[in-house]
Every structure is written in C-alpha cells, then in structure tokens.
A and B are shown apart, each in its own frame.
Chain A
Amino acid sequence: MHTTIHHLLALWATIPEIVRTLVWILIITIGVILCVAFLTLWERKVIGWMQLRRGPNRVRIFGLLPGLGQPFADVFKLLTKEVVVPSGSSKFLFRIAPALALVPALAAWAVIPLSPELVVSKANAGLLYLLALSSMGVYGIILAGWSANSKYAMLGAMRSAAQMLAYEIAMGFALVGVLMAAGSMNLGQIVQHQQGGFLAWNWFWLFPMFVVYFIAGVAETNRAPFDVAEGESEIVAGFHVEYSGIAFALFFLAEYANMILISALTAVFFFGGWLSPVAGYPLIGHTFLADPSFFWLGLKVFCALFLFLWFRATFPRYRYDQIMRLGWKALIPVTLVWIGVEMVMAAIHIGPWARPWFH
C-alpha cells in the first residue's frame, strides 16, 4: 500500500508542471462546484430547521439521508429547460453575462492556500489579484441587467452596481488593515503571520476590520439582508428576471461560489487559514490537533458559510438608501479609524507588531 502511494507520487512528479497545474485547476473547480451543489441543499435544510420546517426531503441517493439528491435533481431540471432569449435583447451579451459572473468567482481560487503546501499560485500580489477579480464580478450582473432589455432587470443591475462599488471600497480598506498586520500580500504569508493559536489570529487585533470585511462580503455577494439587486417584492427578481434554465443556474452557481470564496477569504485573512486554533496551548497544544491542515480551513469556511445562511433566515431586507448609507457613512469611516489605530499599535509594537518576525 505504502509503496504504491510512493510510486504514484513519483509518477506525479514526472508530469510536466503545466499539466500538473491544469489538473489542480480542474480538481479545485470541480470541488468548488460540488460544494456549491451541497451548499444549496444545506441552506434549504438550515433555513427550514430555523423556520420549523423539514426542508427538501424527497430525493434520496442510494436510499441515504432524505434530500441528499436534491441538488442533482435541481441541476437536471434546469439543464433540460429552455433558455429563453428575450426579443430586443443583445443576444451575445445576454448569453455571455452568466459566464462573466461565474469566472471571477472560480478564478480567485488560484491564489487561495488550501493547506501549507497546496496552492495553485504563490503569487506575491495575491491580495491585489483577489481585489481585482472581485471587482470584475460586477460585470456579469450589469451586463445581464442591461442586455435583457427589461426595466426590472435594468433596475436590479443599477442597484447592485452601485452597491458593489460602495462595498468594495470598505472591503479594500479592511484588507489594507490585514496587509499592515501581515506585512505581505501573499496569502500564504498572511496565514503564516497569524501563527500561535486562537488569540494570535488577526480577528482579535483587527476585530473592526473583520466585522467590516464580513458585512462587505455579504453585500458583495448580494446576499440577504443586502439582496436588493433581486428584491422580489419590488423588482420581481432583479437582474436575472429574464433568465431561465441553465443560464439562470449559472447566476446561482456564481452567487454560491462567491459565498464560499468570501468565507474562505475570511478564514485566511482573519482566522488563520489552515492553522489550528489550539496550537501553542497547554495539554492539547502538542498533540495532532495542533497540526495545521486543510481540515481546519474547511471547518472555518463551514462556520462562515453558516453565518451567511443564518443571516438569510433571520434578517429582514435593508432599504436601499440604508444600504448605501451603511457602506459609505458607517463601514468606510470605521476602517479608516482602525487603520489609524493600527499605525499607533505598529509604532509602539503591540499586537501582531510585537512578534519577533516583524522586524
């Protein structure tokens, strides 16, 4: 058994690097899409439980757990439906908009370190790359709204464009705080700078930044309570009102992929990524529990995703002008103030700036 694994590893190393990278990209993409599939199910189950319902419980796979086959049933249903292209629409943009929404959400995974060794690209400017990609996600929504030649879709697109631009600024400033604490834009190094157990992670010293980042993340993904881009009580379904079949499913895929991405980034930036929460603590700090691994990242992402679902089940939708007010007049000033506080902390060497590697 052991020798077989060694043989396989040796074989893997002989493959040219470009092919290996492509295989990794494929594995991560398929992994994210599968996660999205089961996240939709988990969301419906969790919201169901919170509202004292059962959630989907009809479709089974191999007689296992009721509802486990629901995502696949949904996908096959949407795949077999007709994609209606409205008359008077810009045909090309209408067809390409769903892809434009999905591609940035998947491409961002290139720089996210899944475990100490496992990352597709160790880009030095990884954080900037992420900001650039997340700012491109808005094109899918705007173009979907405009090309559909529908007033409701247009209104939804306008709302979400203004909202995403506003919250990107707050998000960018929150990441400036992370950058100041880590002294690097490489995501792997940002994680490594948080070494040393639960309280050494960035969330403790950058708590306001963490709160702002997560709120901005919820707003960026157009999720409840900031989902006015598809506020069904006002503008039917917003920017994707004219989409049907698999084109509609792609927007959904993009939204959920973005949720997983934001959760992963929250884990990397503020919760030590793959690091173990008990590292360095007495008793358990020297067992296998303290080892950094993919498991810890997965657990953190899962918890962050649960917050998204929790918000959706419990918060009423914001009024549009209140969203803009919150973004511009509350979140951005908070980040600016905390950047000032960080400057002071860095000058007198407390918090992450007191650690030996920082000089």
Chain B
Amino acid sequence: MHPTGETEAVLVQILFYLFATLLVAGALGVITARNPVYSVLFLVFSFINSAAIWLLVEAEFLAIVLVLVYVGAVMVLFLFVVMMLDINLAEIRQGFTRFAWLGWITAAAVIVEIVGVIWGHGLGGVDVGRGFVSEPANYSNTLELGRVLYTRYAYPFELAGVLLVVAIVAAIALTLRHRPGMKAQDVSRQVAVRAKDRLRVVKVSAEKRS
C-alpha cells in the first residue's frame, strides 16, 4: 500500500490502530483464557494481526513468512500437543501467587529492555508518526532480503541452518526409543514380497471322485 493521498494515510492509520488493538486483545486472551486450546488460538490470532501490521509497513515477506511458519506449522504442532495432553488446570494454578513476584520481575525487566533499546538507539531512521519511507511499486522485499541474506550475512545464515539441523537430530535422537517386543510392519519386507511366496495355485478336479 502506498499512502499517496491524505485519505489513504488516514486509512492506514485506522487499520494500524484496528490491528494493534486486536493484537493486544489477543495477547491478553493468551494469558487469561482458561482452556489451553483457546490460549493457543488466541496466540494464532495475535500472530495474524502482527502479520497484518507488518503488511502495513510493506514488509510483505516477513508478514507472509510469519503466517506460513508460525501460524501454519509451529502453532499447528502446539495445538496438536495441547489437545493430546490431559492438563490438570488446578495443578498448574497452584503456587500462582507464590511465584507471582518472579513474573513481575521478568515483566519489568523486559519493559526496561524495550524502553532502553528505543531510547539508546532511537528508531533507526523511522520518522515517528509518518511511517516508513515507502518504496517504489516494483520494489521486491523478498528479493532484497535474499540478496542481503546470501551475500553479506551468508555465514551467520548458514550457521543458523546448521544449528537447526543439529537441533532436529538431537530431538530425534532423544525421543527415538526402541521398545522391545513392539509389533510393527517391516515395510521393505512388505514391498519385497512376491506372489509366489504367498500364493499357491492348486489344481482341484471339478467333479467328485466316485
């Protein structure tokens, strides 16, 4: 979207406040919902709203990847796990007040960090209240990101990839157990089977021998 006229700028503002409100409401829903499944769904809702906000600042690649990776894959797995678990809510709520001080301290630390970053570095070229500088219509976010990622930041990018592979291998190695006496099909043996191993054609005479 390119805010050329006044009306479009106003429209963008209205959309921003709409999505921002929904995002905050969704985030509140995550921590207040009684059912963990609803918490996960509120989180999905928040992700979609933050993707919409990214779209408003023309970061379409990040917006779509957020939906693709988090909404489409990670949260589905979350939902998968949460639905399978038989969570006893009363047990989780135990000690809520006992550990509340820890939560408050963490929240305060995060807020201090955010404020510190904004104060220390400024908003990095962002003209507050006017939005980002809009790019020409044929500007491709994806192309630019790819260009930077595979040239300037090639090594950190590859490193992150290797890290993810190691994490996958570790996760599989930790959870892969061979229980003795488990019954499972051996697929390669099933595939390799031939008709003559299983089937014997017998000639039976049509009439009863008298």
Contacts and interface: CB of A to CB of B under 8 A. Distances in A.
Contacts of A75: none
B141 A124 contact: yes
A124 B60 contact: yes
Given A125-B141, A321-B185, A136 B60 contact: no
Contacts of A143: 41
Interface string A124-146: 11001101100110110011001
B60 A131 contact: no
B73 interface: yes
Interface in B133-147: 140-142
A165 B73 contact: yes
A7 to B, nearest CB: 29
B79 interface: yes
Contacts of A161: 76, 79-80
A168 B72 contact: yes
A250 B106 CA distance: 45
B68 interface: yes
A235 to B, nearest CB: 16
Contact of A138 (B60, B76, B142): B76
B151 to A, nearest CB: 17
Contacts of B68: 128, 131-132, 135
B64 A125 contact: yes
Contacts of A162: 80
B83 A165 contact: no
A325 B185 CA distance: 12
Interface in B69-121: 71-73, 76-77, 79-80, 83-84
Interface in A166-190: 168, 185
Given A124-B142, A142-B83, A146-B79, 20 more contacts: A90-B37, A93-B41, A124-B141, A131-B68, A132-B67, A132-B68, A132-B72, A135-B68, A135-B72, A136-B71, A138-B72, A139-B76, A142-B76, A142-B79, A143-B41, A158-B80, A161-B79, A162-B80, A165-B77, A168-B73
Interface of A: 90, 93, 123-125, 128-129, 131-132, 135-136, 138-139, 142-143, 146, 154, 158, 161-162, 165, 168, 185, 321-322, 325
**What 5 pairs between A and B have smallest CB-CB spacing?**
A135-B72, A132-B68, A132-B67, A128-B64, A124-B140
